[in-house]
């Protein structure tokens, strides 16, 4: 008998990125950025330990692209954008089972649809610490009818033009604009055979037909769910069903039963759904906006109990979303996410490097910006990884250490006294292997009485979420109450209005990494920082990620 071989595999994907005329909410057709003609992009599914090879060919006629899968780089941070007609080969290993996604990270290309799911199953022979019969997956996103080019121009206009709330929320890339359940039901009264191939009954396009989750009664499903929204923070729920959360951002959490899931842009969760309700009907799945005054109807999908037809309209209404501005509820939800201590390592007991990042809305030369400790990030033309690794120090503000705190007398409950910030591109230099605490500190916007949620995402690392609090962070008082017992490991975490969020991570991944608000227009307006650690240890910067900006100086000796 042959021994059982558990081998890791290489999984090859061949992608072509191009424009796709599409209307995900059956409103006016516009240009999406799609992969192999699909929106959302194809799902990458692998097992822990596998090697992933994605051969990406950029067919956009003039735009560079950049994908950020688990390889986790970013144009201008770790590599040059992939030029039109160029092929770039991503190679990365997926060493940790979990639910992830990939997305474009150049300009606002994520808002144009350049994203998809990345699912890593446990290695062969290994078991998940929970049981389920089958698996489902959902990507949540938001959609504007304005092109991303117009959105980028608007965000950089004087006077400022905000992109506004999304026209639609999409579930698995499908939504519906400007039509209601009510309209559907009225039409259904006239035509009882009407099937909700779309919730806009007059419109039979499949783009916006609601997504259908097919389930059998009395089973347990693992639903992998990710939010790639550009702006919206979401609350997701099923009618009549509770959810058991078991995984967040690729780490196991203590299973917790909830009525609904708060999910911020950049976050992923796995939840268990028990199909234990009346099997004679279907149920709604619903994604609703929280943390901003909602002007967008909920995104809906159908939980289809087989053998009911998927066209059977749920008997009960979609779940009622929580109050959008109930921050106490949202923080209480966030605190429910704690690590499964058996399956996670705890953080080091203390940090040697403490950084406080004040989040403010500012003005720079009359333009509206976001700034961190009064510096609004403007990425240089030369990717940091190349410029630091090869000593091209004039490619950015190499010698400046960006501020690691903000003035004592700054009042986070008032608009900034001096709203003017500066632009910058300096890098937080971290000692390789050091433990770092970062306090994200929220504050009042330019307008009195307003503060917003920001989901912060760190590339290249998982961090521990040590705590959330109201008001201004105080090291003496608040650090003492850090959760060091079962802090969840995440790569994205929400910063709540007028509050603080504390995270800890070990700077153990040589490279240059972005840490930024995952709200696309906020990042575009400067809401991020860049960290670097152990860049001298990066042995192989492939030529394929160089060639733009000052890395051209490396051309030779056959060159000029």
- 250 φ/ψ sector (left φ>0, alpha ψ -120 to 50, else beta): left
Comparing CB distances to a second copy, the nearer of 15 and 496 is 15
Comparing CB distances to a second copy, the nearer of 332 and 381 is 381
Cβ of residue 183: shortest distance to a second copy, in angstroms?
29
Cβ of residue 17: shortest distance to a second copy, in angstroms?
12
- Tell me how many degrees the CA angle 347-236-135 measures, rounded to the nearest 5: 75
**How far apart are the C-alpha atoms of 76 and 548, rounded to whole Å?**
9
Comparing CB distances to a second copy, the nearer of 88 and 473 is 88
Comparing CB distances to a second copy, the nearer of 111 and 492 is 111
Cβ of residue 376: shortest distance to a second copy, in angstroms?
15
Cβ of residue 13: shortest distance to a second copy, in angstroms?
20
Comparing CB distances to a second copy, the nearer of 109 and 198 is 109
Size (the chain), residues? 560
Give 320's contacts (C-beta < 8 A, 6+ positions apart). none
Cβ of residue 378: shortest distance to a second copy, in angstroms?
8
3-state SS class at 524: helix
Give the interface with a second copy as residue ranges (CB under 8 A).
19-21, 31, 61-65, 76, 80-81, 83-87, 106-109, 147, 149-150, 152-153, 157, 379-381, 390, 524, 540-544, 546-549, 551-560
In terms of Cα–Cα distance, which of 281, 273, 284 is closest to 211?
A: 284
Cβ of residue 30: shortest distance to a second copy, in angstroms?
8
342: its two tokens: 């058996």
Comparing CB distances to a second copy, the nearer of 149 and 413 is 149
Comparing CB distances to a second copy, the nearer of 86 and 397 is 86
Q: Are 289 and 453 in contact (CB under 8 A)?
A: no
Which letter does DSSP use for residue 210 in this model?
P
Burial track 298-325 (b if 16+ CB lie within 10 A, e otherwise): bbbbbbbbeebebeebbeeebbebbebe
Q: Are 88 and 82 in contact (CB under 8 A)?
A: yes
Residue 378: exposure state from Cβ atoms within 10 A (0-12, 13-18, ≥19) = middle
Residue 56: exposure state from Cβ atoms within 10 A (0-12, 13-18, ≥19) = buried
Comparing CB distances to a second copy, the nearer of 65 and 245 is 65
Q: Are 381 and 431 in contact (CB under 8 A)?
A: no
What distances in angstroms separate CA 232 from CA 23, 142, 168, 300, 357, one per listed residue? 19, 7, 10, 15, 22
Q: Are 305 and 281 in contact (CB under 8 A)?
A: yes
Cβ of residue 329: shortest distance to a second copy, in angstroms?
37
**How far apart are the C-alpha atoms of 523 and 370, rounded to whole Å?**
8
Cβ of residue 28: shortest distance to a second copy, in angstroms?
11
Cβ of residue 547: shortest distance to a second copy, in angstroms?
3
Comparing CB distances to a second copy, the nearer of 446 and 554 is 554
In terms of Cα–Cα distance, which of 2, 39, 6 is closest to 20?
A: 39
Q: Are 489 and 462 in contact (CB under 8 A)?
A: yes
Cβ of residue 111: shortest distance to a second copy, in angstroms?
12
**How far apart are the C-alpha atoms of 144 and 559, rounded to whole Å?**
45
């Amino acid at each position: 008998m042959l021994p059982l071989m558990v081998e890791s595999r290489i999984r090859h994907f061949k992608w072509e990125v191009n424009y796709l005329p599409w209307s995900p909410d059956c409103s006016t057709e516009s240009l999406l950025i799609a992969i192999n003609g699909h929106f959302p992009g194809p799902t990458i599914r692998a097992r822990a330990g596998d090697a992933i090879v994605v051969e990406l060919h950029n067919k956009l006629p003039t735009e560079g692209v950049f994908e950020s899968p688990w390889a986790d780089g970013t144009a201008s941070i770790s590599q040059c954008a992939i030029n039109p007609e160029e092929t770039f080969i991503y190679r990365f290993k997926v060493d940790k089972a979990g639910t992830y996604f990939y997305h474009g990270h150049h300009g606002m290309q994520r808002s144009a649809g350049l994203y998809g799911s990345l699912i890593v199953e446990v290695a062969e022979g290994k078991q998940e610490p929970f049981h389920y019969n089958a698996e489902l997956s959902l990507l949540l996103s938001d959609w504007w009818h304005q092109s991303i080019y117009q959105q980028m121009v608007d965000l950089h206009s004087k006077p400022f033009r905000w992109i506004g709330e999304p026209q639609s929320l999409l579930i698995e890339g499908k939504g519906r604009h400007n039509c209601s359940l009510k309209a559907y039901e009225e039409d259904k009264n006239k035509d009882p055979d009407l099937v909700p191939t779309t919730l806009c009954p007059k419109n039979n396009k499949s783009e916006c037909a609601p997504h259908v989750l097919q389930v059998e009664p009395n089973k347990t499903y693992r639903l992998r769910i990710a939010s790639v929204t550009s702006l919206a923070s979401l609350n997701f729920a099923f009618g009549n069903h509770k959810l058991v959360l078991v995984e967040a951002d690729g780490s196991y959490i203590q299973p917790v039963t909830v009525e609904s899931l708060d999910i911020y842009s950049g976050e992923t969760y796995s939840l268990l759904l028990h199909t234990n309700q009346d099997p004679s009907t279907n149920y709604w799945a619903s994604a609703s906006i929280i943390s901003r005054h909602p002007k967008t109807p909920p995104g809906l999908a159908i939980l289809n109990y087989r053998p009911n037809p998927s066209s059977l309209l749920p008997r009960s209404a979609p779940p009622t979303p929580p109050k959008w501005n109930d921050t106490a509820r949202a923080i209480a939800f966030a605190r429910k996410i704690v690590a499964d201590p058996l399956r996670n390592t705890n953080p080091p007991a203390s940090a040697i490097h403490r950084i406080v990042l004040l989040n403010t809305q500012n003005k720079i030369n009359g333009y509206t910006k976001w700034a961190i400790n009064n510096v609004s990030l403007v990425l240089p033309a030369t990717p940091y990884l190349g410029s630091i690794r090869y000593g091209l120090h004039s490619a950015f503000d190499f010698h400046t250490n960006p501020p690691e705190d903000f003035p004592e007398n700054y009042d986070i409950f008032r608009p900034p006294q001096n709203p003017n910030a500066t632009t910058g591109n300096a890098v937080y230099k971290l000692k390789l292997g050091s433990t770092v605490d970062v306090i994200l500190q929220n504050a009042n916007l330019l307008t009195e009485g307003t503060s917003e949620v920001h989901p912060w995402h760190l590339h290249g690392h998982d961090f521990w979420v040590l705590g959330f609090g109201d008001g201004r962070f105080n090291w003496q008082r608040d650090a003492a109450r850090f959760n060091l017992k079962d802090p969840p490991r995440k790569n994205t975490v929400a910063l709540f209005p007028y509050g603080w969020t504390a995270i800890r991570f070990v700077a153990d991944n040589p490279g240059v990494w972005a840490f930024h608000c995952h709200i696309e227009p906020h990042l575009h307006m400067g809401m991020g920082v860049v960290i670097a650690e152990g860049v001298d240890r990066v042995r192989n910067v492939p030529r394929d990620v160089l060639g733009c900006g000052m890395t051209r100086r490396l051309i030779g000796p056959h060159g000029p």
